[in-house]
Amino acid sequence: MNIVGRRNWYFLLSLAIILPGILSMLFLGFRLGIDFQGGDQYNLTFKQPVQASTVQKEMDKFNVEATTQQAGPTSVIVTTKPLGVKEETTVRADLFKVFPVDGGKSSYAQVGPTIAKELVVGAGALILIASILIVAYLTIRFNYKFAICAILALLHDVFVLTGVYSILGKIFNSPLGEINTLFVTAALTVIGFSVHDTIVIFDRIRENLRQASRLSFEQNVNLSIIQSLARSLNTSMTVVFVLIALFLISPQSIKGFTLALLIGIISGTYSSIFNASPLLVVWRRLDPR
């Protein structure tokens, strides 16, 4: 199996997956959740089953940019733009009047624009700090070329994940594509998993290079990938199976989080095998030193 020899095909496949997402992010942006956009959120629990579409029709009367999603047979989550006290009181009174709302089990949350902005900055800082620490560790553990190739593979996973969510949220207008704090949690988890898998292959490459061998650098890298392939796939597939089951049975409120993990784990496994290590070969050819 010559994975490194066919690296250009794998690079093209990655580009074909990433490019639509990049275009969507550039021209359409993201569907931001209440955490990052600010607004009001009602977690409504009813005394009998109510469809989210029915609640959505009622909310449309107020022109408050409401988004309604089903959270269970008798639960609905309603998110609106930031409302004034009078407007919020009117909306809440109407919902309690029209629908059989269980006031004791329902809740209300509000996030202002300032807090939302702080959350966006904080999320970006977390991802940046994680990336810097990863580069520092890999530079010490291996060398800077390995670190940069790992970060490029990591960027591949981030672009795949964010691109898919931009398309889901803006083109398909799906609640699954909402960017919120759970999405950031999933993204950080994916970053850790992706680099973890890449390090295993890099470590195998280093061990094979230390042994007296007549194999070229490219052949050593390809051998290392094949030797680590079964381990990487076995580890990833067990996680993927669990995430698929969780996605199918989980409530609507965490389906987006589960989907982000599922996309990220699959992308991270792919990039570790077909992108990170072949990039070392490309770099070696450009700079034999």
pLDDT bracket for residue 113 (50, 70, 90): low
CATH 3.30.70.260 describes domain 39-111: yes
Predicted pLDDT at 114: 65
Average pLDDT, the chain: 87
CATH class of 7-33+114-286: mainly alpha
pTM for the complete prediction? Answer: 0.81
Cα 121 to chain centroid distance, Å, stands at 17
Q: What is the tens place of the pLDDT at every residue in 233-262?
A: 998 999 999 999 999 988 777 889 999 999
* High-pLDDT (> 70) share of the chain, %: 97
Lowest mean pLDDT among 55-64, 120-129, 148-157, 274-283: 120-129
Domain 39-111 in the same topology as domain 7-33+114-286: no
Residue 287 pLDDT > 80, yes or no? Answer: no
Predicted pLDDT at 19: 95
pLDDT bracket for residue 225 (50, 70, 90): very high
Q: Where are the domains of the chain?
A: 7-33+114-286, 39-111
